[in-house]
Chains A and B, each alone.
Chain A
Amino acid sequence: MKTMITPNPPQTYFCPPHIRWAYDAACILVVNEQTRQAHMLVAEEAAIWDWLMLGYSYAQLIQFIAASSDLPTVQAENHLRQQLQTWQESGLLQKVAHHG
């Protein structure tokens, strides 16, 4: 019997409309108008958020993270994925549901 391996589909994230942020002197303040929670992003977390919101691609983000953290590409990728996961869990990003 032949085994079919179905690869995981790509995941699309979006920033829900109730998420707003402001650039402060040493952080990014993100507010969730729905839950009325505020998040303070600092250091690398703030940098990744900003680069993400600037519209950089996955590959470019990896390049930025690798350069800023002095990490090999593979680790930079893992770092980005973890970060996206964290933001998804805290409601700052949401995943687009894939059908079919």
Chain B
Amino acid sequence: MANLAISNVCNLNCPYCFAAAYMSQTIGTARPFITIEAFTQRLDFLERSHISQVRLIGGEPTLHPQFTTLVQLARQRGFTVLVFTHGLVRARPLTCLTTLSPDDCMVLVNMNATRSGSVPDAAETAQREAVIRQLGSRALLGFNIYRPQFNLEPLLALIQKANCHPAIRLGLAQPILDGANVYLHPKQYPAVGRQLAQFARRAAADGVRLEFDCGFVRCMFSDEELALLQEAGADVAWRCNPILDISLDERAIHCFPLTGRVETAVAAQDAPTLRQQLIVQTQVYRRAGIYRECSFCPHKRQGTPPGACTGGCLAQTMRRFRHQNLRFVLPAPTVGQGCQPALLGEIR
């Protein structure tokens, strides 16, 4: 799995956007969109990595002026296509996507993307729903949880109405390591966990499955809540791995929140090699987790088989680490004694 950034621009302003640091690095650059030549090289990269799906990200990927050409290029080489979009898609890219078979194309629509920096307004919601209706079963609804109170009920109704893919992809808004986006604090996870467990049951009754994106942790759910989720068929997972976001300038980034901190040059390497390099870069932080208790938590034991909790999002974890510009003066020991118990030390 690797995500290809094809656009560094977005026309919305989501408060929780974790690509903001990535996009801000490229403000004012001459080329905010991937070139056809570079995109062809990315497809080569996917091929040599034995990856069969092209995952298009941004910014907003559908803003790429040659979006249709890029999708066609990917299809011509036999890739299936997954597009991550805010859902306010213009006519041409939308037509391009709706002409593809649902078997070859999936569109993950972020349902709470907005221009307002707050929640989507009525016009945005209406426009997005119209797009989703056209996409039909190609549409997979996604929702970023960035506040402890949220309402997923309208998504169930929309899935029925628009005959979307019967699942909801849930993301926990994570912090940009060096930035200032709105994100869900780990203290708020248990409150979210309670609501998700309740919602999973209602979703299952409608034949809708919950899928968890990265950053969820085991302890945000009680045993009963976890049982509820499993009973409801939710795809419960505790992931935090290098996704490989491939930037326009050919960097392989662990994930957008870690832009500028955990990344490596793509060069002629394949995805497993790049992923391994990023794992090595971050290994030193993996003992810790998002909570103080993680390093001793039985759910998070290093080296345990898949299924063990990773301790949550690495960006959240790394934000817990501090540095102090300390200068400490140690006075000279006195002759004939071990040390002088004098008030010589001074800190600046």
Contacts and interface: CB of A to CB of B under 8 A. Distances in A.
> A and B: direct contact (Cβ < 8 Å)?
yes
Interface of A: 5, 7-15, 17, 19-27, 29, 31-33, 36-38, 40, 52-53, 55-59, 61-62, 73-75, 77-78, 81, 84, 93, 96
B329 A20 contact: no
Interface size class, chain B? 35 or more
B330 A32 contact: no
Contacts of A23: 292, 320
Shortest Cβ-Cβ A-B pairs, 7 listed: A58-B345, A77-B339, A20-B321, A8-B332, A15-B326, A22-B320, A59-B343
Contacts of B321: 20-22, 29, 31
A22 B294 CA distance: 12
Given A24-B288, A29-B287, A31-B321, A10 B329 contact: yes
Contact of B329 (A56, A58, A62): A58
Interface of B: 280-281, 283-285, 287-288, 292-296, 317, 320-333, 335, 337-347
A5 B283 contact: no
B323 A56 contact: no
B339 A81 contact: yes
B327 A13 contact: yes
B327 A12 contact: yes
Given A26-B296, A29-B287, A58 B322 contact: no
A11 B285 contact: no
Q: Which of B294, B323, B327, B335 has the most CB of A within 10 A?
A: B323
Contacts of B323: 15, 17, 19-21
B327 A96 contact: yes
A78 B339 CA distance: 7
A6 B30 CA distance: 63
Contacts of A56: 347
Contacts of B332: 7-11
Nearest to A57: B345
A33 B284 contact: yes
